[in-house]
Amino acid sequence: MPPLLPLVELEADILILGAGGAGLLAALHATTINPRTKILIAVKGLLGQSGCTRMVQGGYNCVLNPNDSFEKHFEDTIKGGQFVNNQDLAWALVNDSPDRILELENKCGCLFDRNPDGTIHQKPFAGQSFDRTVHKGDLTGIEIMANLRDWTLEQENITVLQETRGLDLLTDTNGKVVGALLLNNRKGEFVSVKAKATLVATGGGATMYQISSPSLEKAGDGMGMAFRVGAEFIDMEMMQFHPTGLLVGKSIATGGLLEEGLRGAGARLFNKDGERYMERYSPDKMERATRDVVSRSSYMEIMAGRGTPSGGVLIDATHMGEKFLLDNFRGMVDRCREYGFDLLHSRVEVSPSAHYHMGGIRIDLNCKSNIDGLFAAGEDSGGVHGGNRLGGNGVADSIVFGARAGDAMAEYIRTAKAPGDVSTQARQLMEKWLAPLNREGGENPFKLRDQLERVMWRKAGVVRNGKDMAEAIPEIIEIREKIEQANGAGAPIYNAPWNEMINTVNLGVCAELLTRSAILREESRGAHYRQDFPEKNVKWLKNITVKPVNGDLKWDTVPVKFTRLKPPELIEQEKSLVH
């Protein structure tokens, strides 16, 4: 029998899983509406010190300059997303983001870089028609999260469980989500939380790839939990690869980013032969092309044998000068120096790095999923960015939709009934997750995680084809089956193999949904590039959705609603039909 662990039973009005920008803005907004709202936040790491919002280097896109406009930001976002964005969600992102940046400054104490006249400075980012990226040097995420952490700790109505991960969502007899079962790694105990509304904001699953940039604890946990209760997903084939992840050998630092602003400011990319290869792929925009274009171009150079011996390309910022780099990109200069690279005086080796999942749980404008009581925001949700996310729109997404989730949950709980008893369900789920602790034999979860990362990188990565992805599916299924029986033996406190087993269970869900969705989309669009279907196809101006039904996967294709902006190819097609 597995060891018996304590079960702590708690109650809250709102349960928030994840404490990045989305989770903490949800707490801020719900508290602002009603300071007596009882909120419980579970964060997998340390509050303010973990997650991907803290890692944001570049900045936050919003319209502040009178020469800019919502329409310009919206058009950039839709064009970047290759017109498969949910346009209502994208408009909400654009419309809300200025208010949220002012809220971060005036309510939470963030202070972003200024122009000489005192206005907020905005820098250029790739894929944008106007310089609209708000930042704090190249350490924007730290500025946001440090102040959000301090605000959170000051609130009497908010309880934070640190080093506590979500395991499974709890549901009532009607399938409504009424809380979650958590694992407190610090204490080695289970926590059952009953809540009227639950938000998943745990971040995405880009760490399913061999080279990736997110914080190490990210594992698609929210998506895995939501999948197991029947949530619907959208755009799962759309995984963004950032063009410039550092290559640091076998170190866990490999994949960490040199941010978008470096290329926006003029850094150049070269292959091993010294060719500035973006001239071949995007002669008009060069290194300031969108992330999907630059990542794919770099990958093709490497595959053509023009990469470095370590399988990368080279970024060069030396022509920009020491003073400019130290004034604007000190964080990156210091990061490179820590790993033995000199960004000031030499070229640095980089590679495409899995970065951000545009796909996720399908939500409406209020961040509601198809499951009653379950909300999603940030990278756990999908639809905002379509086929490709613009740099600077990611943290804006988390902040904007975290705030919207907080507003919506505050309204939802006014009339929601308190959940009934969930202790029996919680203890049944405990038994499932306890089993690996006392398992003799079983495969090594770290090896299975490594196997999954390699399969995804080779067969469903930057450049894809139907044959490779079809071969990947049985491999992913085999890994998913084996990880359920993996060995997590040991004590429950800070048990690394046990946690890696849980991580891989969730990443396996994300990997299978992504690969099957990518097989269905027989075209190339945004971050989804297929060698066997290298062109965009107007017939694929659709979103792919999937949800589990009775143990199977139900797939659908949904035509995009062009509520504000039509794609040029559709306009041309309509003209040809008229004539």
In terms of DSSP H, where are the helices of 233-290? Answer: 260-264, 278-281
Selected catalytic residue, list 54, 263, 335, 347:
263
* Position 259, amino acid: E
Q: With CA atoms as reference, report the closest residue to 233 among 517, 467, 444, 547.
A: 547
The alpha carbons of the chain give a radius of gyration, in whole angstroms, of 23
Is 73 part of the annotated catalytic residue set?
A: no
**Could you tell me if 252 and 207 are in contact, meaning their C-beta atoms sit under 8 angstroms apart?**
no
C-alpha to C-alpha distance for 62 and 166, rounded to whole angstroms: 32
Alpha-carbon distances of 555 from 94, 227, 478, 528, 544, rounded to whole Å: 30, 14, 22, 18, 7
Structure tokens at 275: 């060719």
C-alpha to C-alpha distance for 22 and 380, rounded to whole angstroms: 10
Beta strands in 38-163 (DSSP E): 39-42, 60-61, 122-123, 133-134, 158-161
C-alpha to C-alpha distance for 109 and 86, rounded to whole angstroms: 32
Is 263 part of the annotated catalytic residue set?
A: yes
541-569 exposure pattern, b = at least 16 Cβ within 10 A, e = fewer: bebbbbbbeeeeeeeeeeebeeeebebee
Selected catalytic residue, list 100, 135, 149, 242:
242
Name 68's Cβ contacts closer than 8 Å, sequence gap at least 6. Answer: 130, 132
- Which are the catalytic amino acids? 242, 263
